[in-house]
């Protein structure tokens, strides 16, 4: 398998920048792509070459597979890294990349396909000896079959879309009388969302935790598990806070989860980085939920406690190199927490916010990592997900990490649009969260209590406001240009030469 010289990063925001940095550390050049509103984004300037790919709507830019493949070929790339979201879990795209003579930095298309079909995934897991949630392993044909399955399992049950995932098209059914109408609703939702109406039935687990296992697999037959991430702190299927390790996972349970996860990945011929999601019941039993066949948003907490650069490992595996992870050394060290800082107003039902970032101070110092994709002058629109950046901390213990996260959250200054920052501070100060006493229903229950006092000056501290005003005034007084560099509008030979020169110096 050939080694790469140049990789096209088919994504935007923080993950594009994260991948470009990994490319540089691996000695590879990166090609960025950007839509019109992203022309001033940091990922554009971080790359060796940046290519405009279209207007704001993702369908005309970051989801345009043909254009991305053409761009990779035109710029002399050997590979495409899809990041997360967008084209990352589309088997036809992975196939088209290979067809074009390029490497896809991700699993084989067959593995994406097997895990994307949720009932096929359940059958495969069952065959591999991985525990699955009790329920059907084939789609049910109609509400009559669904009812038969439900009475076998006992209520409550969940109707799930076979083509679904991530909670879309899911319906909770509490009793027999509700199943016919629930079936119709779930089916039409599934058709709308995925273009396929097949549904299956699962026993509904009450108050579980969401635990996922990071795996890495190489072309030499090695599959390793990098422990768990605790992802129970979520709201409407959007994770807000993740951590590693989980307070609910003992070393013995970690071994069992890891064994199940490596069996799962091995059984579909997985390659690169992937994540097996489990529900951990209060009883201590765990069940396979689904596999995410991509790099995940929350990968950094695993990196910090295992000392592994997951994106560099992806790039190694894609070049046919062996994993640099040593099984004997796979012990979690210390504790990591991640807060997703989103452009959403927690005091207004988490309404997505838009506007221009006027002033930004990102946290740093001991044990702090900021994986961001925006800077002052950038505009936040509704075209893409609301993630502004991830604040990740490491500490020798969970208590240290919690203190450090609070310190780092107080250092963060975002002026121009509301963000989830203040909400994170309240979660960090919550006794239930501090004790580790939570499950997937935590925010549903604790959210209202945490938000009861309304917006307060805890983050809109007077000093930060003054700093922002001073910076604005100074800029105006000096008539200086805004602190952004204009990206190349066109890829002229001059632009490309200048970029290469700058790198060679």
Which residues are identified as catalytic?
294
Q: Which stretch binds ligand MV4 (CB under 6 A): 70-78, 164-172, 358-366, 420-428?
A: 164-172
Which one among 101, 167, 481, 482 touches ligand MV4, defined by CB under 6 A?
A: 167
Which of 4, 442 has the CB closer to ligand MV4?
442
How far apart are CB 232 and ligand MV4 at their closest, in Å?
7
Judged by CB under 6 A, which of 22, 46, 47, 158 binds ligand MV4? 158
* Binding status of residue 174 toward ligand MV4 by CB under 6 A: no
Task: Please give the Cα distance from 5 to 77 (Å, whole number).
Answer: 7
Q: Are 120 and 114 in contact (CB under 8 A)?
A: yes
To the nearest whole angstrom, how small is the minimum distance from the Cβ of residue 157 to ligand MV4?
8
Asked whether the beta carbons of 275 and 214 are under 8 A apart, the reply is: yes
**Cα(194)–Cα(272) distance, rounded to whole angstroms?**
26
Bond preceding residue 156 cis, omega within 30 of 0: yes
- Pick the stretch among 77-85, 202-210, 370-378, 485-493 that binds ligand MV4 (CB under 6 A): 202-210
C-beta separation of 291 from 121 below 8 A: yes
Q: Site size for ligand MV4, by CB under 6 A?
A: 16
For ligand MV4, which residue of 45, 81, 113, 210 counts as binding (CB under 6 A)? 210
In the complex with ligand MV4, the residue whose CB is nearer, 123 or 475, is: 123
Q: Which of 427, 459, 428 is nearest to 446 (CA)?
A: 427
Q: Which of residues 413-442 bind ligand MV4 (CB under 6 A)?
A: 440
- Strand pairing of 79-81 and 6-9? parallel
Least Å from the CB of residue 471 to ligand MV4: 40
Q: Is residue 29 packed enough to be buried (19+ CB in 10 Å), middle (13-18) or exposed (0-12)?
A: buried
Stretch that binds ligand MV4, among 158-166, 368-376, 421-429, 474-482 (CB under 6 A): 158-166
Helix/strand/coil (H/E/C) assignment for every residue in 369-392: EEEECCCCCCEECCCCCCEEEEEE
- To the nearest whole angstrom, how small is the minimum distance from the Cβ of residue 289 to ligand MV4? 5
- The alpha-carbon radius of gyration of the chain (Å, integer) is 23
Binding to ligand MV4 by CB under 6 A, coded x per residue (else -) over 282-321, reads -------xx-------------------------------
Q: How far apart are CA 170 and CA 158, in angstroms?
A: 7
477-486: Cβ within 8 A, 24+ apart: 482/376, 482/377, 483/375, 483/376, 483/377, 484/40, 484/375, 484/376, 484/377, 484/378, 485/40, 485/45, 486/40
Name which position in 9, 114, 133, 264 contacts ligand MV4 (CB under 6 A): 133
Candidates 204-212, 337-345, 395-403, 459-467 — which segment interacts with ligand MV4 by CB under 6 A?
A: 204-212
Nearest-approach distance from CB 287 to ligand MV4, in angstroms: 7
**Nearest distance in Å: CB 120, ligand MV4:** 16
Pattern 219-238, ligand MV4, x by CB under 6 A: ---------------x--x-
Are the CB atoms for 132 and 125 separated by under 8 Å? yes
Residue 205 as a binder of ligand MV4 (CB under 6 A): the answer is yes
Q: Decide the pairing of beta strands 359-361 and 79-81.
A: unpaired
Shortest CB 394 distance to ligand MV4, Å: 24
Nearest distance, CB of residue 26 and ligand MV4, angstroms:
32
Choose one: 160-168, 312-320, 382-390, 456-464; the region binding ligand MV4 (CB under 6 A): 160-168
Figure out which of the listed residues 76, 101, 166, 284 binds ligand MV4, where binding follows CB under 6 A: 166
Nearer to ligand MV4 among residue 69 and residue 215 (C-beta)? 215
Helix, strand, coil content of the chain in percent (nearest 5): 40, 25, 35
Task: Give the whole-angstrom CA distance, residue 280 versus residue 273.
Answer: 22
Q: Which residue is nearest to ligand MV4 (CB)?
A: 167
CA atoms within 13 A on the CB side of 262: 16
Is 258 one of the binding residues for ligand MV4 (CB under 6 A)? no
Cα distance between residue 232 and residue 291, in whole Å: 16
Stretch touching ligand MV4 by CB under 6 A, among 113-121, 197-205, 243-251, 307-315: 197-205
> Which positions touch ligand MV4 (CB under 6 A)?
133, 158, 165-167, 202-205, 210, 234, 237, 279, 289-290, 440
């Amino acid at each position: 398998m050939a080694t790469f010289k140049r990789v096209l990063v088919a994504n935007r925001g923080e993950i594009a920048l994260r991948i470009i940095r990994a490319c540089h550390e691996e000695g590879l050049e990166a090609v960025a792509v950007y839509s019109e509103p992203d022309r001033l984004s940091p990922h554009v300037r971080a790359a060796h070459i940046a290519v405009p790919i279209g207007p704001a709507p993702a369908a005309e830019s970051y989801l345009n597979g043909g254009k991305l493949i053409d761009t990779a070929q035109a710029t002399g790339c050997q590979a495409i890294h899809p990041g997360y979201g967008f084209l990352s879990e589309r088997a036809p795209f992975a196939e088209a990349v290979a067809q074009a003579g390029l490497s896809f930095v991700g699993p084989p298309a067959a593995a994406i396909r097997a895990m994307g079909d949720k009932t096929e995934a359940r059958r495969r897991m069952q065959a591999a000896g991985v525990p699955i949630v009790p329920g059907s392993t084939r789609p049910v044909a109609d509400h009559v079959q669904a009812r038969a399955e439900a009475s076998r399992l006992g209520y409550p049950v969940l109707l799930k879309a076979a083509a679904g995932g991530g909670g879309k098209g899911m319906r909770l059914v509490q009793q027999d009388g509700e199943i016919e109408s629930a079936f119709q609703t779930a089916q039409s939702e599934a058709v709308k969302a995925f273009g396929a109406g097949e549904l299956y039935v699962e026993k509904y687990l009450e108050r579980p935790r969401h635990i996922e296992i990071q795996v890495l697999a190489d072309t030499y037959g090695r599959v390793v598990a990098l422990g768990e991430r605790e992802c129970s702190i979520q709201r409407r299927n959007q994770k807000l806070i993740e951590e590693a390790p989980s307070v609910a996972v003992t070393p013995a349970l970690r071994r069992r989860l890891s064994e199940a996860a490596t069996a799962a990945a091995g059984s579909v011929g997985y390659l690169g980085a992937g994540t097996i999601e489990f529900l951990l019941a209060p009883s201590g039993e765990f069940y396979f939920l689904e596999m995410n066949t991509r790099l995940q948003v929350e990968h950094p907490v695993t990196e910090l406690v295992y000392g592994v650069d997951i994106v560099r490992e992806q790039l190694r595996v894609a070049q046919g190199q062996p994993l640099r992870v040593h099984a004997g050394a796979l012990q979690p060290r210390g504790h990591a927490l991640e807060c997703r800082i989103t452009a959403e107003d927690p005091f207004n039902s988490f309404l997505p916010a838009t506007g221009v970032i006027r002033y930004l101070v990102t946290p740093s110092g001991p044990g702090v990592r900021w994986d961001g994709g925006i800077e002052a002058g950038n505009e936040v629109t509704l075209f893409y997900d609301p993630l502004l950046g991830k604040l990740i901390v490491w500490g020798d213990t969970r208590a240290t990490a919690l203190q450090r996260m609070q310190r780092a959250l107080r250092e963060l200054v975002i002026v121009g649009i509301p963000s989830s920052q203040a909400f994170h501070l309240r979660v960090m100060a919550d006794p239930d969260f501090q004790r580790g006493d939570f499950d997937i229903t935590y925010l549903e229950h604790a959210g209202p209590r945490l938000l009861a006092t309304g917006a307060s000056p805890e983050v809109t501290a007077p000093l930060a406001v003054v700093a922002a005003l001073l910076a604005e005034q100074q800029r105006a007084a000096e008539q200086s240009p805004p602190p952004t560099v204009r990206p190349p509008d066109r890829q002229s030979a001059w632009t490309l030469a200048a970029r290469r020169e700058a790198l060679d110096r």
